[in-house]
Chain A
């Protein structure tokens, strides 16, 4: 099967319905088929990656914790739009620390989150084969 470059664009808050969870399910399915998978978090989607979420306080699901599994599924490219963080007064230090073992660097433990400007990310959209929106 030919490998496609697939990017999943996440734009919703983590606890308003099941969209965030469904996105993660689809990402893991795509990764299991050994596709070239990347995630992008923009606009309200950046809230999904906030660390120290305690969804049990309101009986919702723990999305941020599930993201930790992405590295095990060889999902290594997680783009977070800088402007979306700035507009919300957030920084990389507020986000979960997602890691993976980098096969191009002797399987060294490597950070998965990459901050990227709105303009560069918009160009990156154009270099994918498929864009999925959640």
Chain B
């Protein structure tokens, strides 16, 4: 069962991301959207308690949410693939279940 995790909160506002990364399995994926995209900042993704680079799963962030917040692509982790909302929906259909962390 492949799980799609979604995160829409800054990692310094709440603990959605921490809850997720400690449970993300290798064949799963994580989508960062709304305030969740701040975790795509390279400096945050590499924090010792987050370490997105150590996760063996696919990482996505919604491009419009990054641009709305002024996050420059150069500042984002290379691990994270930018997607639009139609691709978000497409991913939802591809996974067995969605875990929308709240």
In the complex, are the beta carbons of B70 and A44 less than 8 A apart? no
A residues at B contact (CB < 8 Å): 12-16, 43-44, 47, 50-58, 60, 64, 87-90, 94
What distance in Å separates the Cβ of B79 from its nearest Cβ neighbour in chain A? Answer: 15
Docked CA distance A53–B72 (Å): 10
Q: How many A-B residue pairs have CB under 8 A?
A: 65
- Can you sample 19 A-B contacts with CB below 8 Å? A12-B13, A15-B34, A15-B35, A15-B68, A16-B13, A16-B34, A44-B10, A44-B38, A47-B10, A47-B38, A47-B70, A50-B69, A50-B70, A53-B68, A54-B68, A56-B68, A87-B43, A89-B75, A94-B72
What distance in Å separates the Cβ of B48 from its nearest Cβ neighbour in chain A? Answer: 12
Residue in chain A with minimal CB distance to B46: A89
B residues at A contact (CB < 8 Å): 9-10, 12-13, 34-35, 38, 41-44, 64-65, 67-72, 75
A12: chain B residues within 8 A (beta carbon): 13
What distance in Å separates the Cβ of A87 from its nearest Cβ neighbour in chain B? Answer: 7
